[in-house]
Structure 1
Amino acid sequence: MRKVLGFLALVTGLAFAQTSLKVGVILPLSGASAVSGKAALNGIQLAADEVNTAGKVRLELVVVDDGTDAAKAVPAFTKLMTVDKVDIVIGGLASGVTFALSGPVKQYGPLFLAIGAASSVVEQAFEGYPLFFHYHPWDYHNVAAALQFFQYLNREHGARKVAILYEDGPFGSAGIGVYKQQLEKLGYQVQAEPFKAGSGQFTAILTRFRAFAPDILYWIGYDVDALPIATQARQVGLRPKLIYGAPPSWPIGFEKNPLSNDIAGMTAWLPTVANPESRRFVDAYRKKYGEVTEEYMAPMGYTIVKSLALAAEKAGSADKNRIAEALASLKMNTPFGPLSFKPSDTGRTKYQGFGPEIWFQFQYLQGSRRPVFPKEVATRPLRYPGEYYLR
């Protein structure tokens, strides 16, 4: 009897070993993208807890900080490969950092599950890499969704001039020329200027924009830029009818600052999204962390881990190639809606997850983010013109 029990224990142990995954997680837990990175990690850890509780797949996470800095990211990634010996990596949030990782990823060959990195420069860098799965929409998807909103503003509200303030890294600058052309085709006059990422100094550019008298001030940067731009635009007397921001995340507590009121932006998710997977995620997140997040990187991280676990279960193996094969054909519901992988619009990415369909526009109104466009998801009407005055 002991021999039988011992044999069963051995077989059970081997079965669990086959579905045990050691997963590297490389995210910006410090630096300019830390808000997004910490939100993503919360979602990843929540999903890993759920997967481990279910028992079909066992996940061990090895987490490193890329510091939103290529110089820190490359050695952190190399450690995951050479010291921690992982075959699967979740990461790639900031575009500049992910671009820097493209060479090392190709060198070491892990299954790389990209959570962000929207710049098409990154897509070009990873072209042809067979184990690259990109979940987040690309920048041209983001542009397509934003242009629908700008077309609406032009048609329904008479907006004619856009001033674009964009950070000078890959996230902000990739495709800015094409974006400007597309806005001009919609009937806009466009003035665009770059700023040094993380500098916090916008007064000179905003003063030049004042002479242009834009209807819309559109900035592309990171969460650290939101408050300085909102403050300095008012200080120089810039009076757009709408301030529209496009960071991957917004500052924690920004909604409590009166300067946030009437500022608009784009997101892929808010806790008010009503699909069943979103409601389940919100309930689980609240139970684990004692609060609800508005950062879409949290459900994005959660979605990646859930999809990885389902693929590993389907593959019946910890082998990265078999998991990739299972992931390629996976279809699942997520807090953002349905997920499946297909070639990107350019064809450079073989396994692209979400597209422009997940984006919607919100506005900070009375201390919270309210969906305002498109009409089918709006919970409040857009305030246009907004009020952007120092009081």
Structure 2
Amino acid sequence: MKQSTMGIWVAGALLAMSTAALADTVVKIGFSSPLSGPQAHYGKDNENAAKMAIDDLNAKPITIAGQKVKFELVSEDDQADPRIGTQVAQRLVDAGVKAVIGHYNSGVSIPASRIYADAGVPQLSVSTNPAYTQSGYKTTFRLVGSDSQIGGALGRYAIQQLKAQRIAVIDDRTAYGQGIADEFIKAVQGMGKKPVRREFTSDKATDFTAILTSLKAVAPDVIFYGGADAQAAPMAKQMKRLGINAHLMGGDMLNTPTFIQLAGPDAAGHFAAVAGSELSARPAGKDFEARYKARFKQEIISLGPQFYDGVMLVADAMKRANSTEPGKFLPMIANTTYKGVTADFSFDGSGNLKKAPVTISAVENNDWKVKSTVY
């Protein structure tokens, strides 16, 4: 090789090495929620917030192990279906994601958690069924309180604040619906009361006339529903039509603008609880809410802010570990003390959020009004 040719080759190699050194390291973060079907409004809310987090991180690039990092969100639609959820989980692992923020539904998160655990990929979820963190996986973290906390808070509120004497319970037979209904009943029984009736329905049902007509005979003053807003709204309307003067209560899947839109005037006076503090009460909450509304031209639906926090928490763990490899930053998640938009995050040995706040609200003047926040 001639000297001039050798010089060109060396210069080219050095330029390539220099360019490689300057190139961003792309870090894929997995996301999954129902993005189609009757629960798509929850999923799009979650995805919007996760995208906000990715954009916020990329707007002020961070350097890890000497390399600038560019984050990329890999979104999947699990359709709130456990079978599809496990397929999605495998696709995310195969895509090389470093962490997963999701899934939304407990019935999807629980079977998917094994796939992430086998791959050593951290999973941060808003799923509330206690079973989600009871498998002993070191990769599993819950970004909100569990059904024990949410259902328990609602049960105590029904007895102590609403002075309920005759409580009926309905659930949609999903892992979420059954789980939160069970915990609500435990809390009610712990206060010395016993539900007068428990009924079951489907997460696809919209006609509850038969169940409600049966319940009317026992004159409930509270009806607890474990399920989503798409079923709770027609239930509220049918309660009104049948002359059932009871408060409808439910968890975070009921506490949405969609419930009010679908139920109309019949939404008034009903209660729901969400995992987390009122956003306006958090130092960064007001700013997040304003930015979300300005960008997406809509209200926050439900737990999107927790998905934002999940992405940011993972990035913070990577910075502290100075690594984007799950094996290196996973211990940093387990030992985090991250101050997020929705909570101060730290986890117990099972991956449950410590000191998880629960906010109880009621529909007044066509809006959700906070009544109580408990820990």
Where does residue 70 of structure 2 map in the other structure? 58
Structure 1 gap segments, 5+ residues each: 344-348, 378-391
CA deviations on 1:202-228 (whole Å, 9 max, x unpaired) are 111111111111111111101211211
Is the aligned partner of 1:372 residue 2:371? yes
Answer yes or no: is 1:121 the counterpart of 2:131.
yes
Q: Mapping of 1:38-77 within 5 angstroms?
A: 38-56=44-62, 57-77=69-89
From 96, 99, 115, the equivalent of 2:107 is 96
Structure 1 equivalent of residue 138 of structure 2: 130
Counterpart for residue 381 of structure 1: none
What is the Cα deviation at residue 47 of structure 1? 0.7
Partner of residue 353, structure 2: 353
Q: Please state how far the C-alpha of 1:23 moved relative to its aligned partner.
A: 1.4
Q: Describe how 1:211-222 pairs up with structure 2 within 5 A.
A: 211-222=217-228
- Cross-structure match for 1:286: 293
Shift of 1:6: 6.8
Question: Does 2:267 align with 1:255?
Answer: no
Q: Distance in 2 between matches of 1:177 and 1:269?
A: 20
Tell me which structure has the larger Cα radius of gyration.
2
Please tell me whether the aligned partners of residues 245 and 264 of structure 1 are also in contact (alpha carbons under 8 angstroms): yes
CA contact (8 A) 2:232 2:254 kept: no
Distance 1:49 1:39 in 2: 16
Mapped contact 1:332–1:339 kept (Cα < 8 A): yes
Q: Is the 8 A contact 1:277 1:333 kept in 2?
A: no
| Cα distance, 1:352 vs structure 2 | 2.0
* Counterpart position of 2:37: 31
In the superposition, the TM-score normalised over structure 2's length comes to 0.86
- Per-residue Cα deviation, 1:300-349 (whole angstroms, up to 9, x for no partner): 01100111111111111110111112222222222223112223xxxxx2
Structure 2 residues without counterparts, runs of 5 or longer: 1-10, 63-68
Alignment of 1:10-25 (within 5 A): 10-13=20-23, 16-17=24-25, 20-25=26-31
The aligned runs of 1:106-255 (5 Å cut-off) are 106-114=117-125, 116-124=126-134, 127-153=135-161, 157-174=162-179, 176-177=181-182, 179-190=184-195, 191-240=197-246, 242-250=247-255, 252-255=257-260
The Cα RMSD (Å) is 2.5
Instruction: Indicate conservation of the 8 Å contact 2:236/2:266, yes or no.
Output: yes
Residues 188 and 32 (structure 1 numbering): CA distance in 2 closer, same or farther, change over 3 Å?
farther
